[in-house]
Structure 1
């Protein structure tokens, strides 16, 4: 026993830190010699075939209603975000149910919709690459020239001010934008927050004479008002509160279930006695227990969206009429793919809570409705005993789906949402793997405005969820893998709602199924880690263009290879080889460090899967590809 401890201490001093009951955790940065890698095949050789565009869904970010000047009929309008393509608007006749699609002039989608009846125009504020302000003439269905503010990627919402101008909040600059509908110009009124790490001016509200109200953060949280005349900002109320309603008589905010009321002329607190009963219903409880945003129609009934459907509800919130969105479902970008024992490919969309399956032999596919009530997307997918285990952002959700049983998500039967790890953990950046103990393990990033992460485990026999917060303090889990003995994970300094933390040393760690770190190694500052993969007694740890190889028997890093590209998806091909995806496909022998094959890819690939028959599939944007030859 003493000799064994001495050996462990020696390795810790050389390569990192091994954690035992006797040895404390330490962090030692090391540098191994870099070794190049030989190519047996020339680069830029195409060896893949497109199979299908199997991932199709609606991802509705915004909605409004108006009387259409083209035909005088009421239209329920949905803003559909299409990852991997250009977003669109869906116009639904509230009486006939007929649908019309109009593509945006640019960008993936839009949260912000605002109807200006006096101009007969619909304003659209887009995301996630340009932050455009689009203006649509509803009579002619023509778009004005797109406007944007340099460096802004999102416009979150749009609200009409008492001065006739339209205001909106942004990401990442945390600006208050002002749009002049007469002149069709867009200007910045400055940053809403004084904190340079706050990136979100998330929601802007009008309805207060001479003022706009703005909430956002997320390094800090703010609730601020903007004085239109003096172009100045000031705080009021509780930071982080949501605006519930604004009327001529009061501003109502809500924080952790408690209401506060303010005078809209002075912003001074006022008594809420008798005012709570006046709050309008703006959400509707559905049979699944979720509360969905709703909008009032001319008939007095309500309209809203539930997953891949829209609904109409009686004025009293009673009878619910769930209807299919009456336009074709567009192809969307693929976020994750895995293969089942029968060679079927399963996957999830990059944005929107839907999954799909595809038969690669004939290209036929199936798409689900939303798998859970939270917005966001599925990151992790793991098959076990014919059941599909999912992990999803933004609700920190664990979901289990049995493809052999009828679909009943509204009653939380199939798929079934298990215990969430939110609010501490919300984004499963490390994805999901089967652990050596038979548990379903997932790596997570912390809540908005927090640097941190964690791990979770589902017990498949009981469906109980366990979780561990911040095993490496202040760092999210960026990749997770496992072998027959341990779970392995990497971390980095990314966080939801915050800029990257350049001050951290990213870590590689070994985790026991019992729930503790048994080894950890810190990389130098500036090195960012992503996915990891266990194969052939090694763990592949990409860091920039380098691939570090960790030996699971000696518990030490044993090699560092220059891959000449950043790595995306990692797939074990057999007991000694791994497919490494980036801009090229590299096949790495983890024992010899030699490159056995190299072919150009259509783009940088971040997800791929190997079938039991040895066929390799990967996704890029909306397309599922098959490698033409087995590796």
Structure 2
């Protein structure tokens, strides 16, 4: 069977802006005032959007590489961009010529979080996963590492960096949280305050930190704690304006007025007291990575973006598609998607949010009407890695990983009638839920030893658990040997199918025992139920069909790369994505 016969590309329906950073300046290119957005394009290459304050015209400038950037810093006639999530580039754009300098990077790093201009004229940055402090020399266009900020190898984040006289402050996490101080005089690292403390803001006079909800102040020159009257403003005020009756973060423009981003739009307030004018970002939204797929009762395909908290709809009947604004206030992306009737229930990172949307009613997320954010499970649970399924009780169940710096996970339940949310922490202690399936009696969980911001626990085996909704307890637990990693889990043909390493393990819920192991010798990304007592397993580059009666399997052909999400429509059409921007339809045949 040829690849062309096995699948086809139907569309790139997922398109959104995900603005990670903003700045504003008089542009040397044309001497006009610009509001500049840094757009993250998941699964593709990010870009900068320059918006003329007066005309509203937009200019899109692609980055030389990587998906996007939080870090923006203007230095003279250059705009510095620090990227993520794959390369951690430092890009330098000559604003007058619109030409990029040669990209710079430290090979071990994939994220640059923010830039801080030091008192010595150098630009400093923190990284992931090496927890480094970087120094960029604008005159020489060189990037060097000043070393790890933490002696603890479990700490992978140096996020963020702040400049004070003769020193740099760095927030370190996530195994241990503390503030590191780097001295320009002798290049040494020391610490400020206590473990758990983090810098909020800092300037040439004082430093504001937070520890367990309490703010502390230090002198920027002596690093000694100082007394500040309760209610005194922070070091600098976050600029805010009022849009549609709500306070929203904004950036003060050099020529007066304020600007900001609201979902897929931007706004400008030309004068204090005036209502901000909200407009669509004036360049086309790029195709972005598809993160999760599902389908509604009518056979329409729905999905979420890889970053930016938006969803999309693709109608196979006419090829049309639609993209939403952000579904909730938290940043991140939607993992769990499940329809109950005509309502779409979603679960998203990073706020641990549950969201419900009614496609037949007007969109009004700004007033939390449609989509409506329900009770979150954050901050204890934040990433719905196990995604969402309809449980035996008809409720929407979701599998979660715990907060940053915490090994563990949980499951949650949303009652589709009352919208009441319930949750349970650590059904398998110390392990996050990475897969979730259900039949008419139980929920089936796969777990592993990963954690948000933490190193994987190599010495601890993954687990498979059976959860009884009636008793709200695990009634069967199996721990695998350390090494092989679990993933997607599927209930089909009376059996529970799951990836364990490069095999497919098959569990019989009647006997409460594993029935077989299918040696695909391929790391399966997704499994789907097929229509004649078999399942399809999407490997790293191959599609397999596994027969439920014999546990024999056949390789059907090549697929583009490892598939990360699939959905089966009510009439049996199978759509999938392979961690990119394209939506594929499978033509597996009989």
TM-score by length of 1: 0.90
Aligned equivalent of 1:617, options 575, 580, 583? 575
1:150-177, CA deviations, whole angstroms, 9 ceiling, x for partnerless residues? 1100111111111111100000000000
1:573-588 to structure 2, matched below 5 A, reads 573-574=530-531, 576-582=533-539, 583-588=541-546
User: What residue number does 1:558 align with?
Assistant: 515
User: What residue number does 2:461 align with?
Assistant: 505
Aligned equivalent of 1:98, options 50, 54, 57? 57
Per the TM alignment, residue 352 of structure 1 is displaced from its structure 2 partner at its CA by 1.3
* 8 Å CA contact retained: 2:302, 2:313: yes
* 8 Å CA contact retained: 2:206, 2:235: no
User: What residue number does 1:527 align with?
Assistant: 484
* 8 Å CA contact retained: 2:33, 2:255: no
Aligned equivalent of 1:484, options 422, 430, 440? 440
User: What residue number does 1:59 align with?
Assistant: 18
Structure 1 residues 290 and 456, CA, compared in 2 at 3 Å: closer, same or farther?
Answer: farther
2:159 match: secondary structure: strand
User: What residue number does 2:37 align with?
Assistant: 78
Task: State the alpha-carbon separation in 2 of the partners of residues 616 and 127 from structure 1.
Answer: 32
User: What residue number does 2:528 align with?
Assistant: 571
Aligned equivalent of 1:124, options 81, 89, 94? 81
Per the TM alignment, residue 597 of structure 1 is displaced from its structure 2 partner at its CA by 5.7
Structure 1 residues 274 and 399, CA, compared in 2 at 3 Å: closer, same or farther?
Answer: closer
Across the aligned residues of Structure 1 and Structure 2, the Cα RMSD in angstroms comes to 1.9
Aligned equivalent of 2:452, options 485, 496, 516? 496
User: What residue number does 2:385 align with?
Assistant: 429
* 8 Å CA contact retained: 2:26, 2:254: no
1:274-313 to structure 2, matched below 5 A, reads 276-277=232-233, 279-284=235-240, 292-313=248-269
User: What residue number does 2:343 align with?
Assistant: 387
User: What residue number does 1:595 align with?
Assistant: 553
Task: State the alpha-carbon separation in 1 of the partners of residues 354 and 237 from structure 2.
Answer: 30
Per the TM alignment, residue 44 of structure 1 is displaced from its structure 2 partner at its CA by 6.1
1:532 match: secondary structure: strand
Aligned equivalent of 2:222, options 244, 250, 266? 266
Q: Does 1:627 align with 2:586?
A: yes
Q: Does 1:178 align with 2:127?
A: no
Per the TM alignment, residue 350 of structure 1 is displaced from its structure 2 partner at its CA by 1.0
User: What residue number does 1:108 align with?
Assistant: 67
Task: State the alpha-carbon separation in 2 of the partners of residues 180 and 292 from structure 1.
Answer: 35
Task: State the alpha-carbon separation in 1 of the partners of residues 2 and 131 from structure 2.
Answer: 43
1:242-301, CA deviations, whole angstroms, 9 ceiling, x for partnerless residues? 433333322222344432111111010111128823654315376699875432112442
TM-score by length of 2: 0.96
1:338 match: secondary structure: strand
Q: Does 1:169 align with 2:126?
A: yes
* 8 Å CA contact retained: 1:615, 1:630: no
Task: State the alpha-carbon separation in 2 of the partners of residues 499 and 444 from structure 1.
Answer: 17
* Structure 2 residue ranges without an equivalent (≥5): none
1:454-501, CA deviations, whole angstroms, 9 ceiling, x for partnerless residues? 000001111010000011111000100000010001000111111111
Per the TM alignment, residue 97 of structure 1 is displaced from its structure 2 partner at its CA by 1.2
* 8 Å CA contact retained: 1:379, 1:392: yes
1:371-421, CA deviations, whole angstroms, 9 ceiling, x for partnerless residues? 001010000100001100000000000000000110000000000000110
Q: Does 1:136 align with 2:93?
A: yes
User: What residue number does 2:157 align with?
Assistant: 200
* 8 Å CA contact retained: 2:177, 2:198: no
* 8 Å CA contact retained: 2:68, 2:84: yes
User: Which protein, 1 or 2, shows the higher relative CO under an 8 Å CA cutoff with sep ≥ 6?
Assistant: 1
* 8 Å CA contact retained: 1:533, 1:541: yes
User: What residue number does 2:361 align with?
Assistant: 405
* 8 Å CA contact retained: 1:216, 1:240: no
* 8 Å CA contact retained: 1:480, 1:490: yes
1:568-609, CA deviations, whole angstroms, 9 ceiling, x for partnerless residues? 111112372212112212122222212356121111111111
Task: State the alpha-carbon separation in 2 of the partners of residues 288 and 244 from structure 1.
Answer: 28
With 317-326 and 484-493 compared, the bigger mean Cα shift is at 317-326
Structure number, greater radius of gyration: 1
* 8 Å CA contact retained: 2:497, 2:507: yes
Aligned equivalent of 2:505, options 539, 548, 557? 548
* 8 Å CA contact retained: 1:337, 1:347: yes
Aligned equivalent of 1:191, options 138, 143, 148? 148
Task: State the alpha-carbon separation in 1 of the partners of residues 223 and 484 from structure 2.
Answer: 48
Q: Does 1:340 align with 2:296?
A: yes
1:155 match: secondary structure: strand
* 8 Å CA contact retained: 2:391, 2:443: yes
Task: State the alpha-carbon separation in 2 of the partners of residues 520 and 82 from structure 1.
Answer: 40
Per the TM alignment, residue 222 of structure 1 is displaced from its structure 2 partner at its CA by 1.2
* 8 Å CA contact retained: 1:210, 1:228: yes
User: What residue number does 2:333 align with?
Assistant: 377
1:513-537, CA deviations, whole angstroms, 9 ceiling, x for partnerless residues? 1210010100001121011001111
Count how many residue pairs are aligned between Structure 1 and Structure 2. Answer: 587
1:103-161, CA deviations, whole angstroms, 9 ceiling, x for partnerless residues? 001111111100012xx000011111111111110000001111101110011111111
Q: Does 1:219 align with 2:178?
A: no
Structure 1 residues 317 and 629, CA, compared in 2 at 3 Å: closer, same or farther?
Answer: farther
* 8 Å CA contact retained: 1:536, 1:575: no
Task: State the alpha-carbon separation in 2 of the partners of residues 145 and 186 from structure 1.
Answer: 11
Q: Does 1:474 align with 2:430?
A: yes
Per the TM alignment, residue 311 of structure 1 is displaced from its structure 2 partner at its CA by 2.1
With 346-355 and 497-506 compared, the bigger mean Cα shift is at 497-506
Aligned equivalent of 2:408, options 441, 446, 452? 452
* 8 Å CA contact retained: 2:297, 2:341: no
Structure 1 residues 219 and 317, CA, compared in 2 at 3 Å: closer, same or farther?
Answer: farther
* 8 Å CA contact retained: 2:136, 2:142: yes
* 8 Å CA contact retained: 1:237, 1:260: no
* 8 Å CA contact retained: 1:215, 1:240: no
Per the TM alignment, residue 616 of structure 1 is displaced from its structure 2 partner at its CA by 1.3
